[in-house]
Amino acid sequence: MLILSENDLRSVLNYKNVLKALESGFVAYKRKGKFPLRTAIESEEYKSTVLFMPSSFSDKSGVKIVSLCENNFSKGLPYTRGAYLLLSLVDGSPLCMMDGSYLTYVRTAAISLLASKYLANKNPKTLGIIGAGKIGTMATEAHLSYFGIEKIYAFDKFDSSMNSFTKRLNTNSSTDIVMCKEGNEAVSNSDILITATTSYKPVFNSRFIKEGTHVNGIGSYKKSMQEIPEGLIVRAKIFVDTLEGATSEPGDIVIPLEEGLIIKDNICEISEVILKGFTRNQSDITFFKSVGFSLEDIITAELAYNESKKRGIGLEVDF
Ligand SMILES: NC(=O)c1ccc[n+]([C@@H]2O[C@H](COP(=O)([O-])OP(=O)(O)OC[C@H]3O[C@@H](n4cnc5c(N)ncnc54)[C@H](O)[C@@H]3O)[C@@H](O)[C@H]2O)c1
């Protein structure tokens, strides 16, 4: 079995190859795979949730175990951590165990880029980011790698996150970074807005959203978490990674559904957009909710495994 560390994954995965793999995966997944809804175990004692995300795709199966730990920030540890196990569906052999934290960051950043590619107005010049942690930073990098972004408006409630965000992006990019004093400042200036927080309440006021904005909501993954105000949800055309996950898990969608502010029939899966296209009016507000989908993990894990085997990367162990 091959073992892949974060550094190994960094050397074989980039936003371009993950984006391409995800696009093909979303086109084929209903024919080629099985993706049961994930199982969550919550610990009130440790303020953490563990998600078990199994799937099969083509001739592989796999499972990600990812933990989301609220107390980690104060300990200087990552909020999102995990491991991924990839197996052969043909003979059951375990093929690869890899770092599930980096896998999650890169595939989540790439899925937000995929949504922006299909849903945002052409040639976006400004990007807003609320929640400049691990995933927010990588989602920003992913957008910089694809669009000609001239200015980033960033807001995080902690200075430490803002500092690491600006340090990391400054080394890679000449794009201007405006450090905002509040979330609404990032919202009102952005062609594309990304929210990637751990917040339990909406992180901006919907009246600040200008017409034509595309919003990627990455953060909330359970009903008690809500980053996006209902005022935006009722104005936007809504897209999700999967209808099953998005309408049963994150507060961003579940709360307005339960309040009768939106209906399920008006929510579209991103795979439909990739297959059939989507023509937006310049003034449309579009919203993509990424709650996390096991397809994104198995596609990215298989890409990492194949590339690593080709290039002799990673550590082989007998199992
Ligand atoms: N959509 C997906 O597939 C997916 C996958 C993994 C994780 N996530 C979610 O993404 C979110 C971010 O994860 P991460 O690993 O980057 O965590 P992180 O702790 O590295 O980053 C979160 C950032 O949000 C900031 N924040 C929290 N509340 C805020 C507020 N009200 N306003 C502004 N900033 C605020 C924090 O200060 C922190 O810097 C989490 O909610 C996580 O569950 C989503």
Q: Is 79 in the pocket of ligand 1 (CB under 6 A)?
A: yes
Task: Note whether 307 and 287 are same-domain residues.
Answer: no
- Contact (Cβ atoms closer than 8 angstroms) between residue 154 and residue 180: yes
HSE (CB half, 13 Å, CA atoms) of 97? 11
Closest CA to 227 of 163, 287, 297, 300: 287
Select from 180, 111, 110, 121 the least CA-distant residue to 151: 180
Nearest 5°: the CA angle 115, 119, 122 is 115
Nearest CA to ligand 1 atom 11: 219
Q: How far is the CA of 30 from the centre of ligand 1 (A)?
A: 29
* Residue 112 in contact with ligand 1 by CB distance below 6 A: no
Ligand 1 pocket test: pick from 53, 113, 198 the residue with the most ligand atoms within 8 Å of its Cβ. 198
Q: What CATH number has the domain bearing residue 74?
A: 3.30.1780.10
The answer to whether residue 162 sits within a structural domain is yes
Pocket test for ligand 1, best of 135, 240, 242, 300 (most atoms within 8 A of CB): 135
73 CB near ligand 1 (under 6 Å): yes
Residue 109 is assigned to a structural domain of this protein: no
Cα–ligand 1 centroid distance for 69 (angstroms): 11
40 CA to middle of ligand 1, Å? 18
Within this chain, do residues 84 and 224 fall inside the same structural domain, yes or no?
A: no
Are residues 210 and 262 located together in one domain of the fold? yes
Domain housing 47:
2-103+295-316
200 DSSP 8-state letter: S
Cα–ligand 1 centroid distance for 133 (angstroms): 6
Atom of ligand 1 nearest to the CA of 73: 19
Name the region of 177 (left: φ>0; alpha: ψ -120 to 50; beta: rest): beta
Does the beta carbon of 157 sit less than 6 angstroms from any atom of ligand 1?
yes
Q: What Rg, from alpha-carbon coordinates, does the chain have? A: 19
Residues 279 and 154 in one domain: yes
Per-residue pLDDT of the chain (319 residues; tens, 9 = 90+): 999 999 999 999 999 999 999 999 999 999 999 999 999 999 999 999 999 999 999 999 999 999 999 999 999 999 999 999 999 999 999 999 999 999 999 999 999 999 999 999 999 999 999 999 999 999 999 999 999 999 999 999 999 999 999 999 876 667 999 999 999 999 999 999 999 999 999 999 999 999 999 999 999 999 999 999 999 999 999 999 999 999 999 999 999 999 999 999 999 999 999 999 999 999 999 999 999 999 999 999 999 999 999 999 999 999 8
Q: What span, in angstroms and rounded, lies between the C-alpha atoms of 14 and 33?
A: 24
CATH number at residue 265: 3.40.50.720
Beta carbon of 250 within 6 Å of any ligand 1 atom: no
Q: What's the total number of domains in the chain? A: 2
Q: At what angle do helices 100-119 and 15-32 cross, to 10 degrees?
A: 80
The type of residue at 187 is: V
Estimate the crossing angle of helix 15-32 against helix 294-311, to 10 degrees. Answer: 120
Amino acid at 7: N
Q: Which residue pairs from 310-313 have beta carbons closer than 8 angstroms and sit at least 24 positions apart in sequence? A: 311/11, 311/12, 313/4, 313/8, 313/11, 313/12
Global pTM exceeds 0.85: yes
248 and 225 part of one domain: yes
- Collapsing DSSP to helix, strand or coil, 142 comes out as helix
Decide: 310 and 149 in contact? Cβ < 8 Å. Answer: no
Q: In what order do the strands lie in the sheet with 237-240?
A: 176-179, 151-155, 126-130, 192-195, 214-217, 286-289, 237-240, 267-269
Residues 97 and 243 in one domain: no
User: In the beta sheet, which residues pair with residue 87?
Assistant: 61, 94
Q: How far away, in angstroms, is 46 Cα from ligand 1 center?
A: 18
Residue 110 resides in a domain: no
160 with 91, same domain: the answer is no
> Do 177 and 225 belong to one domain?
yes
Placement of tokens 């200008």 in the chain: 210
Residue whose pair of structure tokens reads 């992180």 in the numeric block? 203
Ligand 1 atom 10 nearest Cα = 219
Distance in Å, CA 91 to ligand 1 centroid: 38
What is the DSSP pairing of strand 286-289 with strand 267-269? unpaired
Ligand 1 lined by 251 (C-beta under 6 Å): no
Q: Quick check: CB of 196 below 6 Å from ligand 1?
A: yes
